[in-house]
Amino acid sequence: MNHQYHPLGFTGSRLAQGYWRLAEWGMSDQELVRFIEQSIEAGITTVDHADIYGDYQCETLFGKALALKPELRDKLQIITKCGILLPSANRPEISSQRYDQSTGHIIQSVDQSLKNLQVESLEMLLLHRPSPLMDPDHIAEAFEHLYTVGKVKHFGVSNFSAQQFDLLQSRLDMPLLVNQVELSPIELKHFKDGTLEHAQQHAVTPMAWSPFAGGDLFKLDGIDPTLHHAIANVAEAHQASFDQIALAWLLRHPSGIVPVLGSGKIERAQAAQQALSISLSDDEWFAIWVASQGHPVP
Ligand SMILES: NC(=O)c1ccc[n+]([C@@H]2O[C@H](COP(=O)([O-])OP(=O)(O)OC[C@H]3O[C@@H](n4cnc5c(N)ncnc54)[C@H](OP(=O)(O)O)[C@@H]3O)[C@@H](O)[C@H]2O)c1
């Protein structure tokens, strides 16, 4: 395991559970309570939300479940995001799909998320995507306010380049602790663009969204056969499953990547947690890297 930095800079779990697809899972409130409980039992206590997930409905579904068993709240670290506007029947006041990172919008969005989730505060707020109109002073004003009134304990970003991260950080008193970006054995872009080196240099935790490439990793038409074979070979050598090796591959990176799981099936989360005890050799790690790149290292 990679413990160079404490994951997430607070007592977050080594794997996080994402709730982007929650509205598709078709769970009753009680089934969702059980899913949250079993995730906690498995050791996955960090949960990842966003205001817009499920057409602005996922936070509310989660909040309803949490209200049925309030004692679960203190066992969770709740992350949510803001900064994207989506036209929706649930938000009739929004007229176009764009970004809004104004001070007023960030504060108002957090107030709404707290109401939806039925909690008093968030462990972490992430700006969902960088905006070409990002004014770091306006964001800093919102973050300082939310921190001061106790509504948000920690802050981070998502899909930010190292430069965008540094620009925002330069206006903040508090450290940005997370950059959540797309990382998987299929999606190598952020392994090569300086994002992970920047994270290591500044003790920022990279969180990996879509660690299984949104499920493409498991589809014959979603993955290159060479990469499939490479992962399957390592899985066989470790007597582990394909998904566990994909996670072990991310976990092996020295930046301390925290994968954000996306399945609503508890047995998949439980299997994922077992990946924490799988340690890939450098030979195995590079076999997957080379297969994904499609050529040997230079
Ligand atoms: N910050 C951002 O911009 C951003 C963007 C996207 C996502 N996210 C976060 O990242 C989280 C994860 O993203 P994701 O849902 O795309 O993750 P993912 O794990 O890459 O993809 C989930 C999909 O893979 C399938 N799957 C998972 N494990 C499987 C297995 N062992 N065998 C077969 N299929 C499997 C799931 O199907 P089943 O449900 O049937 O298991 C689901 O359809 C989201 O919930 C969200 O919190 C953040």
- Beta-bridged to residue 259, according to DSSP, are 208
**What DSSP element (H or E) covers 47?**
strand 46-48
Confidence of residue 10 (pLDDT cuts 50, 70, 90): low
Burial, 150: exposed, middle or buried (Cβ in 10 Å; 0-12, 13-18, 19+)?
Answer: exposed
Contact (CB, 8 A) for 1 and 255: no
User: In this predicted structure, what is the pLDDT of residue 222?
Assistant: 85
Tens-place pLDDT, residues 12-25: 899 999 999 999 99
Tens digits of residue pLDDT in 236-262: 999 999 999 999 999 999 999 999 999
The Å distance, Cα 33 to ligand 1 centre, comes to 20
Cα–ligand 1 centroid distance for 212 (angstroms): 6
Structure tokens at 173: 């008193």
pLDDT of residue 220: 87
What confidence category does residue 112 fall into, taking pLDDT thresholds of 50, 70 and 90? very high
Confidence of residue 4 (pLDDT cuts 50, 70, 90): very low
Q: Element (H or E) spanning 236, and its range?
A: helix 225-238
pLDDT tens digits along 36-75: 999 999 999 999 999 999 999 999 999 999 999 999 999 9
**Maximal CA-CA distance, the chain:** 56
Instruction: Measure the CA–CA gap between 81 and 51, rounded to whole angstroms.
Output: 6
- Does residue 165's CB lie within 6 angstroms of at least one atom of ligand 1? no
User: What residues contact residue 97 under an 8 Å CB cut-off, 6+ apart?
Assistant: 84, 85, 86, 87
Is the CB of 51 within 6 Å of ligand 1? Answer: no
Ligand 1 atom 13: the closest Cα is on which residue?
210
| pLDDT of res. 6 | 47
CB 54 less than 6 A from any atom of ligand 1: no
Query: What is the structure's pLDDT at 5?
Result: 41
Ligand 1 centroid–CA 232 distance in Å is: 20
Contacts of 26 (CB under 8 A, 6+ apart): none
For each of the domains in the chain, give its residue range(s) and CATH number, in order of start: 2-219+257-262 (3.20.20.100)
pLDDT at 278: 98
Beta carbon of 265 within 6 Å of any ligand 1 atom: yes
pLDDT of the residue at 9 = 56
Q: Does 188 have pLDDT greater than 80? A: yes
In contact, 54 and 61? CB cutoff 8 Å? yes
Q: Is the CB of 212 under 6 A from ligand 1?
A: yes
Query: Which pLDDT tens digit goes with each residue over 191-207?
Result: 999 999 999 999 999 99
Residue 264 clears pLDDT 50, i.e. is over it: yes
In a mutational test of the pocket of ligand 1, which residue from 195, 244, 268, 270 has the highest number of ligand atoms less than 8 Å from its CB? 268
Q: Cα 173 vs. chain centroid, distance in angstroms? A: 24
Stated pTM of the model: 0.96
- Beta-sheet pairing, 84-85 with 98-99: antiparallel
Query: How high is the mean pLDDT of the chain?
Result: 95
Q: Is 19 a catalytic residue?
A: no
